[in-house]
Amino acid sequence: MDKNIRELLLSDILINKTGNINVEIRSMLKKIQYYLIILISTYSCQSETVSVLQQEKVVVTNEEVCYNFSDRTIGEIEMDLKVDSLFAGKIILSHNENPVFIYELNVSRSLYPLQSEKGKWQNVSLKWDMANASMKVFINGKHQTTRLFETGEYTKINSLKFIPSNGKSKGVMSVRNVVCRGTYNEVPPRLKIVTFGDSTTAFRNTITGVYSQRLPELLYKIGIPNIVLNRGIGGSHTGRLTDNNRHKIQHAQDRLQDAVLDEMPDITLVCFGINDSWFDGDSNKPRIPLDDYERNLRTIVNEISDNESKILLMTPNALGKRHEKWRYDNLEKYVEVIRKIALEKNIPLVDQWKIYERYSLSGKDIDDLLLDGTHPNDSWHEELAGLIASAIQEMLKDQ
């Protein structure tokens, strides 16, 4: 892209020269400016370059193996890979020394939907696009998972690393026929989103992808370049560890600053409730009593709002029939708190609970949408990602 044209588009000169026009027209001009950047960036990319990084077999044992290549914003690395049963480690795509995408390898642990076969050569492909800040992993041509940024706002990739896990890996991994292809072009401005929640938000190795892993591609398809950061932790409630220490982790308010506020997201998705409402063993009260839950959720919402991030609230999914009905009824009280805050503060809401109820009332089994009676399966995460993408699109119309 011509530098002068790009600087003009990135500035607000085109908008400011219009003078005092109504809000609708100004918003429309902003959108035109935004899509022009995407369009020109897309068609100003260099031609694809191909680099053969390694042809003969290389064995990875206790030392990392690294390959460097020219900057790529869109690319693919394809390789043959063989792992024995004792190897544990990571494949990392980096920019210089900064890890951008991390894919863990541990064939002693069952992976879904594909079992990484021990001791057999398999074709592995890593495909990334920095405009939606995600990398897809394919094994033998089938989609295994999608990886997101750990943090940061990177715009390019220029190295591949194989890193054994210290003290855990006693086996070997072999690689051969490592080829990198891709292009370098301007990355458009990206909407930054943080998903903040519990185990129903956190990454899971037992499914292809949770909603945050599906969201980048859906948003990009409707013209919204993006960065999605997953800040879900299993067992998390809305309070602090000192409020209930059943799970020895950083809970929502323990990690709010680092996980959300410091990232300065444009939009923050918030989904908590199942762990808050839970009764453990012979306890006569939930982990986080209802009044405390409301107070905590209001604190989270207020701090995120004060940080100039838009908020999208979500009710939790309903519980399956393996759980007692009284747990279902108790969780519903927490759902009502979320709805009350969303209505009171005019915050957009994705109401999973209501959709599950309708699904059940239609004669269908809500366990069809769950892995284990608690956590959503691939089918529901796919559906949920679509609902969230539509909600975000509506939120952006108001800008």
- The rounded distance, in Å, linking the Cα atoms of 325 and 202 is 25
Cβ neighbours of 309 (radius 10 Å)? 19
What pLDDT band is residue 281 in, cutting at 50, 70 and 90? confident
Does residue 118 sit in the same domain as residue 67? yes
Which of 334, 204, 317 lies closest to 278, judged by CA? 334
Does residue 165 sit in the same domain as residue 210? no
Q: What is the mean pLDDT of residues 125-151?
A: 94
pLDDT of res. 172: 83
Burial (CB < 10 A; 0-12, 13-18, 19+), residue 93, is buried
- The rounded distance, in Å, linking the Cα atoms of 18 and 162 is 53
110 pLDDT exceeds 70? no
Lowest mean per-residue pLDDT among 23-27, 208-212, 218-222, 395-399 = 23-27
164 pLDDT exceeds 90? no
pLDDT, one tens digit per residue, over 205-220 is 889 999 999 999 999 9
Structural contact between residues 147 and 102, judged by C-beta atoms closer than 8 angstroms = yes
Does residue 171 sit in the same domain as residue 232? no
Q: What is the mean pLDDT of residues 307-324?
A: 96
Does residue 202 sit in the same domain as residue 175? no
pTM of the model: 0.86
- The rounded distance, in Å, linking the Cα atoms of 73 and 257 is 30
Helix (H) or strand (E) segment spanning residue 27: helix 23-43
Q: What is the mean pLDDT of residues 265-294?
A: 96
Domain boundary among 162, 183, 204: 183
- Helix extents (H) in 307-377: 325-345, 352-361
pLDDT of res. 47: 72
Residue found under tokens 């027209």: 25
Structural contact between residues 381 and 207, judged by C-beta atoms closer than 8 angstroms = yes
Which of 295, 312, 279, 285 lies closest to 239, judged by CA? 295
Structural contact between residues 347 and 311, judged by C-beta atoms closer than 8 angstroms = yes
pLDDT, one tens digit per residue, over 28-56 is 665 565 555 455 444 445 678 999 999 99
Q: What angle do CA 186, 192, 194 make, to 5 degrees?
A: 150
Helix (H, G, I), strand (E, B) or coil at 265: coil
Does residue 82 sit in the same domain as residue 149? yes
Task: Give the structural domain span for 277.
Answer: 191-397
- Whether omega before 113 lies within 30 degrees of 0, making that bond cis, reads yes
Does residue 93 sit in the same domain as residue 209? no
Does residue 93 sit in the same domain as residue 215? no
| Domains contained in the chain, number | 3
Does residue 227 sit in the same domain as residue 360? yes
Does residue 177 sit in the same domain as residue 263? no
pLDDT of res. 12: 39
**CATH code at 219?**
3.40.50.1110
Domain boundary among 183, 209, 230: 183
Eight-state DSSP code of residue 320: -
What pLDDT band is residue 155 in, cutting at 50, 70 and 90? very high
Lowest mean per-residue pLDDT among 58-72, 132-146, 166-180, 183-197 = 166-180
Q: Is 378 left (phi over 0), alpha (psi -120 to 50) or beta?
A: alpha
Does residue 234 sit in the same domain as residue 160? no
**CATH code at 98?**
2.60.120.560
pLDDT of res. 32: 63
pLDDT of res. 119: 82
Does residue 238 sit in the same domain as residue 223? yes
Largest Cα separation within the chain, whole Å, is 69
Q: What is the Cα gyration radius of the chain?
A: 23
Which of 41, 44, 72 lies closest to 188, judged by CA? 41
The 8 Å CB, 24+ separation contacts for 86-89 are 86/169, 86/170, 86/171, 87/60, 87/164, 87/169, 87/170, 87/171, 87/172, 87/173, 88/164, 88/165, 88/168, 88/169, 88/171, 89/60, 89/162, 89/163, 89/164, 89/165, 89/169, 89/173
1 pLDDT exceeds 80? no
- The rounded distance, in Å, linking the Cα atoms of 84 and 117 is 9
344 pLDDT exceeds 60? yes
366 pLDDT exceeds 90? yes
Domain boundary among 133, 165, 183: 183
Structural contact between residues 198 and 237, judged by C-beta atoms closer than 8 angstroms = yes
pLDDT of res. 83: 84
Residue 49, CA distances (Å) to 74, 183, 184 in order: 11, 6, 9
Structural contact between residues 110 and 75, judged by C-beta atoms closer than 8 angstroms = no
Does residue 132 sit in the same domain as residue 211? no
Q: What is the mean pLDDT of residues 354-377?
A: 96
